[in-house]
Structure 1
């Protein structure tokens, strides 16, 4: 099967994006993993299929897959890439200032900011309300909310805060993000039995000026240059743990900056950031029978 694709990224968190508005593409997990492989495929942190909505009032839905071929519920950087993809290709009206995308985590509303030529410059995504009930994150850790709860690991005990932004996140506060044990502790926590669906893991440090430094170990991917849902979950954890004043922060990830706000009025989290197109191409994907 010949597949036309576009390589895109949000602050270095990169994706293979494919137009599936005819809902005709069915990729196996192995095919997704091959496409995302940086040595033998195109190379990406995930793959996005742009699809028609499934009965909602959204303009589009998507299929979102991690680099290992597993399905993910939500991705803040990925959904901005989808927005840029459809806006820049004229798949939405030229005067549209909002876009709705149906995801496994619910319909997400995106405010569009265009440049003088009409291309998407940046997007503000309504990421929804954070989920804090342990059973819904999900995690088996105790409490009505998991905020600063001890979690034993093979590398020692850590204190974690658990938040779902449509996908599970576990936030750990560290003294130095640069030296945090992301590649060793990250996979241990991702696969800990306390997280039935596995978890993304955030290593964060908050500063008095309202800035948060962040590195993320993504479930099914590994460390990435940016993670939109992870930045949102970390801001929520910072507010719950009283590590910042107010309910907004600039989150500094290795790939750049995201602006995150947890609204006191409606309880929803809003993420603002850019998206970029890198290149387009054609790739031959082997049929399942080889």
Structure 2
């Protein structure tokens, strides 16, 4: 897949995004708009482009002119510093592998940014990076209503059903979750997704993932209702009809590295992301819930609240 052709298609779609029929899923509509044929393979390509951009920032050129720093970049939300890199680099013991405490996992072990810039999940199919990215493609595909998912070319999501269980040892706060979803929104906007569609998805996700103590809710239809709160810190808004007794007391993840060398190496890798557009992942990006992207004509009052989904 040639990135320049995809990005040029994204430029063209800006003028037609408002015309998406209400009975056409977001995934199907933008797959057709960007890649012409609404096939399972093309739907996977769309989700790969979106998720990879969320992670490493802009890596296609040209695009519609919206800069995406990516979640490996440090940033700010309402003047609060946010740095999500340690959750990916193995610096923090924050991954739930079925125990009572989090463990350290390096999710950049499949080549880091380099394969993502080639529209891949990783350099191999056995790394933690590969499983993380492919599950992200599948999870977002289900959330966005990809009608061809489950057919040859785009597997259905069959991994962990409770996003709370996945993230319970991360102790994520409102600012971290908001920063993540801001990158999701910017990535979508960079490919020409309409503001109304971005807001609709963010508002739906906000009520499920970006609240404390949410009652069991269905995120993936085939998996049924599960505990889904990702934002579990006291800074997170309390869910309507919250069931806090079903959630464990949050545990702050411990630093798993003696010297921070692993994190430094990962940060160095991250700084080389998106070199096709000159974007550096070490660039500090600001995001607010009251207009963090107003210069680009986007309303983030609704869109900059949502969820962090680095699930397994």
Q: TM-score range by the shorter chain?
A: under 0.3
> TM-score with structure 1 length normalisation?
0.27
Structure 1 or 2: more helix by fraction: 2
Higher relative contact order (CA 8 A, sep 6+): 2
More strand by share: 1
Which TM-score applies when normalising by structure 2?
0.26
